[in-house]
């Protein structure tokens, strides 16, 4: 009988705590959203599965020498994974829509207001005595407002490594949930007539423009904000490989094998921080709340900026593409296109929305550099 009791005590069921059960359910929910609903499965499948593994009692898979903890130490704490992801995103990005319509830079810039709104919100909560955030922590949390997971991880690793796990989970969760969060805000701030608005076809962009743009962008931004150079440098390097036409093998590897491998490892590492002992805390829940509010503010500011531009521009833009100014590439652009097609089946906004979407990536990298400089 004693042996049976000892056997029972070694099982995971006997050691399972309420918090672990809750977080396993959260992981299963993320998998459901990814598999059944198609919400960014490339992100949610590894994050959700990593969250389940990290909450299985009796095994230290997410701490110490556990494999998930090793992924976290190797790629997230060092900042390597975010930089490699940025290089891959650069190789997948076509700057053509941005070059064809440079005014969409303003939409990407407006959507970054969510970053500074989050910073002020975190400092406000600290001032009120509800949750204690330092200036560095508030600055790291602020990047969540740009819906840019790699940038959020990179900044948190430099400014506030003690809350890096919570920031990583929040940033990637909201990136993945773009199709849920953005559409209600977009519909609230636009009329049916605005959503139906069709935009004129973009001008063709010469290959020479595409080759010179990442070089000019890097030199201009890096010389003004040197702390943004690592992120923007990897982004521009990936794009240059794509556009120069002489390193197709390197470009293909970066666009496919490299970014896919890093995405798997990054997702599992982020999921490892969904442990009940780390996640179910007041500070972590405060970070999640600030993140979703800031993401909503960024989306709203992009839409409102598009409406403001229409007051002074002869060539109107569909306000929906302003929501793509957040840095979630290409998820936000797809959402803008989908909402537009719901109102008008002939309204293809995807390429138009990619302009502010790419501008948002650039804007979040610059904002990250500014925060690192002044809060670091």
Q: Are 297 and 111 in contact (CB under 8 A)?
A: no
Per-residue pLDDT tens over the stretch 187-200? 999 999 999 988 88
What pLDDT is stored for residue 79 in this prediction? 86
Q: 3-state class of 1 per DSSP?
A: coil
* 104 part of a folded domain: yes
Longest dimension (CA), the chain: 84
Task: Show the low-confidence residues of the chain (pLDDT under 50).
Answer: none
pTM: 0.89
Cα dihedral: 171, 258, 218, 364 (round 10): -10
Would you list the DSSP string of 238-286?
HHHHHHHSS-HHHHHHIIIIIHHHHHHHHHHHHHGGG-HHHHSSHHHHH
User: Token pair for residue 183?
Assistant: 């559409």
Residue 34 maps to a domain: no
Would you say residue 62 lies in a domain?
Answer: no
Q: Per the domain annotation, does 45 fall within a domain?
A: no
On whether residue 337 sits in a domain, the answer given is: yes
Q: In angstroms, rounded to a whole number, what is the distance separating the alpha carbons of residues 208 and 223?
A: 23
Q: Which two tokens stand for residue 99?
A: 């070059």
On whether residue 82 sits in a domain, the answer given is: no
Contact between 141 and 283 under an 8 Å Cβ cutoff? The reply is no
Distance in angstroms (rounded) separating the CA atoms of residues 366 and 351: 23
Give domain status of residue 360, yes or no: yes
Instruction: Write out pLDDT tens, residues 93-111.
Output: 999 989 998 988 899 888 8
Rounding to the nearest 10 degrees, give the CA dihedral for residues 147, 150, 115, 223.
Answer: -130
CB 72 within 8 A of CB 273: yes
Is 55 within the bounds of a domain?
Answer: no
- DSSP 8-state assignment for residue 38: -
> How does pLDDT run across 45-91, given as a tens digit for each residue?
998 999 999 998 878 888 888 899 999 999 988 889 999 999 999 99
| Rounded CA separation 236/250 (Å) | 14
DSSP of 105-162: HHHHHHHTHHHHHHHHHHHHHHHHTSS---HHHHHHHHGGGGT-HHHHHHHHHHH-GG
Name the residue range of residue 230's domain.
89-250+280-375
Q: Which residue has the tokens 């423009």?
A: 209
Cβ atoms of 168 and 151 within 8 Å: the answer is no
Peptide bond into 330 cis (omega under 30): yes
What pLDDT is recorded for position 300? 92
Domain count, the chain: 1
Q: Which residues 6+ apart lie within 8 Å of 230 measured at CB?
A: 79, 83, 154
Burial of residue 57, with CB atoms counted within 10 A of its CB: 0-12 exposed, 13-18 middle, 19 or more buried: middle
Q: From 116, 45, 112, 141, select the one nearest 365 (Cα to Cα).
A: 112
Q: Rounded to 5, what percent of the chain is helix, strand, coil?
A: 80, 0, 20
């Amino acid at each position: 009988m004693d042996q049976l009791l000892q056997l029972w005590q070694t099982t995971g069921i006997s050691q399972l705590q309420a918090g672990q059960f809750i977080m396993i359910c959260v992981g299963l929910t993320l998998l459901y959203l990814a598999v059944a609903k198609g919400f960014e499965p490339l992100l949610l499948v590894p994050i959700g599965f990593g969250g389940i593994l990290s909450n299985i009692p009796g095994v230290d898979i997410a701490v110490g020498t556990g494999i998930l903890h090793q992924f976290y130490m190797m790629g997230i704490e060092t900042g390597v994974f975010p930089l490699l992801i940025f290089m891959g995103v650069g190789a997948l990005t076509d700057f053509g829509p941005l070059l064809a319509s440079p005014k969409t830079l303003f939409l990407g810039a407006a959507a970054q207001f969510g970053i500074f709104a989050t910073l002020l919100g975190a400092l406000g909560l600290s001032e009120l005595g509800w949750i204690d955030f330092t200036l560095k922590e508030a600055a790291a949390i602020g990047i969540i407002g740009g819906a840019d997971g790699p940038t959020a991880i990179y900044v948190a690793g430099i400014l506030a490594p003690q809350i890096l796990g919570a920031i990583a989970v929040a940033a990637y969760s909201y990136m993945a949930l773009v199709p849920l969060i953005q559409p209600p805000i977009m519909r609230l701030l636009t009329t049916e007539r605005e959503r139906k608005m069709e935009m004129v076809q973009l001008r063709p962009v010469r290959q020479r423009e595409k080759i010179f743009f990442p070089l000019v962008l890097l030199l201009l931004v890096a010389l003004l904000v040197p702390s943004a150079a690592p992120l923007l440098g990897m982004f521009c390097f990936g794009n240059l490989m794509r556009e120069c036409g002489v390193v197709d093998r390197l470009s293909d590897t970066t666009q496919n094998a490299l970014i896919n491998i890093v995405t798997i490892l990054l997702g599992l590492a982020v999921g490892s921080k969904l442990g009940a002992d780390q996640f179910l805390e007041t500070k972590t829940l405060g970070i999640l709340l600030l993140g979703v509010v800031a993401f909503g503010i960024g989306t709203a500011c992009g839409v409102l900026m598009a409406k403001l531009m229409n007051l002074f521009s002869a060539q109107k833009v569909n306000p929906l593409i302003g929501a793509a100014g957040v840095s979630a590439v290409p998820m936000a652009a797809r959402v803008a296109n989908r909402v537009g097609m719901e109102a008008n089946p002939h309204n293809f906004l995807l390429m138009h929305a990619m302009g502010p979407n790419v501008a948002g990536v650039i804007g979040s990298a610059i904002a990250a550099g500014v925060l690192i400089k002044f809060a670091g």
